[in-house]
Chains A and B, each alone.
Chain A
Amino acid sequence: MPLSNISVMICDDSILVRKKLKDYISSLGVAAVYEAADGVQAVEFYKQFKPTVVFMDIVMPKKTGIEAVTEIIAFDKNAKIVMASSVGTQNHLKEALSAGAYEFLQKPISNEQIHKILEIVAKGVK
């Protein structure tokens, strides 16, 4: 499946991070890029849009990224969620993996890392 057929959701409370990620991902020709500014929106928008892959921050207001992953996985156990956090400590890594996250990236995240993950996800989608 080409990148033009996948959709991406970015969950981060920083408007700067969302904009930078969205600009880059859109430049790759991805079909749709959704934005969520906190954990509550992340769960809501996931259910609404069913994106192919999600980039999820951990430290967010209202609901943390880990809590959001747990709820999204309960709704769709095949959800592909990439944690993208500035706090890549082992506890966070452990919690994210057991909640069902698919990858864990320590911020700052390079465009190459994003591209690589999107290519892998796109290939995996039948």
Chain B
Amino acid sequence: MFSQFFGSYLLNEGLVTAQQLSKALEEKKNTRLKLGVLAINEKYMTAEQVEQVHNAQATMDKRFGDLAVEMGFITSKQLDELLSVQPSDYLLLGQTLVNDGVLTNSEFEKAINEYKTSHSLSDDDISDDQSAKLSNLISEFYHFETAENAKTYTAYLNLLFKNIIRFIGDDFTPLEASIIRDLDANYMVYQTVSGNLSCVTGVEAEKYQYVKFAGRFAHEELSEVDEYTHAAVGEFLNLHNGLFTVNLSNDFGVELNLDPQDYRDNEHVSYKKTAFCIPISFSFGIVNFIISI
């Protein structure tokens, strides 16, 4: 159910050794994605069908894609689709491992399917009602920002809502977002994400709501704002930001870093760039999520 980089998934499952993985991560940048791996990833072809085309290629001087269409495994429309696919980073890693002979096509097929099933939170996990609220909320961002930033905000918020459902609960209503330049923070955790894009993120609330939010995450009854309570809110933010960076690494090969989280009690906070404050109303009260990209 969790986002995880494909490489560490293969390592955890014992499908590759640390050495094989290390080597493949090194070689990956020179790897060219082949149609067989792409077709398996899209579930257009099975590994067995890919092998059949490879075998046929041994006797005929034809391209993989044309043969796959001739043999009736894919349509020419699917072939065009595959040819225009942007190579995801995790697929390049898979291709490298297949090229190195670490994984066979059928081992790759099994691994990629299991990885996708067990490590993605599909839209089915979110109710229609919540989905509608989510898209309404997110669409507001399109009015505010450039297309490039809107895309990142959308990805960030989409994941944020999934993580709130996962770690805190689904008893919430997103309220209208606002643009802020500063904030009178009651209790707050913040964390900076740096790299190709840099953003400042935070979770802020009044004492009661802050403690309740922390308690939900920690699965404990908490009553005061102390180091432990801050650590609970901080770990939520850290997990969420971490999963966000993993998604970007997996899909686009964009590498970001996180700074350690920090805390503020009753302080005035100013932002250098425009920040969005997204209030979310839980059954125990309102918690503000702040992001500035």
* CB of A108 closer than 8 Å to a CB of B: yes
* CB of B234 closer than 8 Å to a CB of A: yes
Q: Is the CB of A88 within 8 A of B22?
A: no
Q: Is the CB of A16 within 8 A of B260?
A: no
Q: Tell whether A93 pairs with B242 under 8 Å between CB atoms, given A16-B228, A16-B231, A61-B260.
A: no
Q: Please give me the 6 A-B residue pairs with the lowest Cβ-Cβ distance, nearest first.
A: A86-B242, A89-B249, A16-B231, A106-B4, A104-B8, A97-B22
Closest CB of chain B to A11's CB: distance in Å? 13
Interface residue from B22, B218, B257 paired with A87 (Cβ < 8 Å): B257
B contacts, CB < 8 Å to A: 2-5, 7-8, 11-12, 18, 21-22, 25-26, 89, 93, 167, 218, 227-228, 231-232, 234-235, 238-239, 241-243, 245-246, 248-250, 253, 255-260
Q: Tell whether A93 pairs with B239 under 8 Å between CB atoms, given A16-B232, A61-B260, A106-B246.
A: no
Q: What is the interface residue range for chain A against chain B?
A: 20 to 34
Q: Is the CB of A106 within 8 A of B2?
A: yes
Q: How far is the CA of A57 from the CA of B259 in the complex (A)?
A: 12
Number of interchain pairs (Cβ within 8 Å): 98
Chain A residues whose CB sits within 8 angstroms of the CB of B242 once the complex forms: 85-88, 106-107
Q: Tell whether A15 pairs with B227 under 8 Å between CB atoms, given A61-B260, A86-B243, A93-B25.
A: yes
Closest CB of chain B to A100's CB: distance in Å? 9
Closest CB of chain A to B267's CB: distance in Å? 20
Chain B residues whose CB sits within 8 angstroms of the CB of A106 once the complex forms: 2-5, 8, 242-243, 246
Chain B residues whose CB sits within 8 angstroms of the CB of A73 once the complex forms: none
Chain B residues whose CB sits within 8 angstroms of the CB of A16 once the complex forms: 218, 228, 231-232, 234-235
* CB of A72 closer than 8 Å to a CB of B: no
* CB of A27 closer than 8 Å to a CB of B: no
Closest CB of chain A to B196's CB: distance in Å? 12
Q: Is the CB of B12 within 8 A of A59?
A: no
Q: How far is the CA of A41 from the CA of B167 in the complex (A)?
A: 30
Q: How far is the CA of A93 from the CA of B246 in the complex (A)?
A: 11
Chain A residues whose CB sits within 8 angstroms of the CB of B232 once the complex forms: 16
Of all chain B residues, the one with the shortest Cβ separation from A13 is: B260
Q: Is the CB of B249 within 8 A of A91?
A: yes
Of all chain A residues, the one with the shortest Cβ separation from B21 is: A97
Q: How far is the CA of A19 from the CA of B2 in the complex (A)?
A: 22
**Chain A 84-102 interface mask (CB, 8 Å, partner B; 1/0):** 0111111101100110011
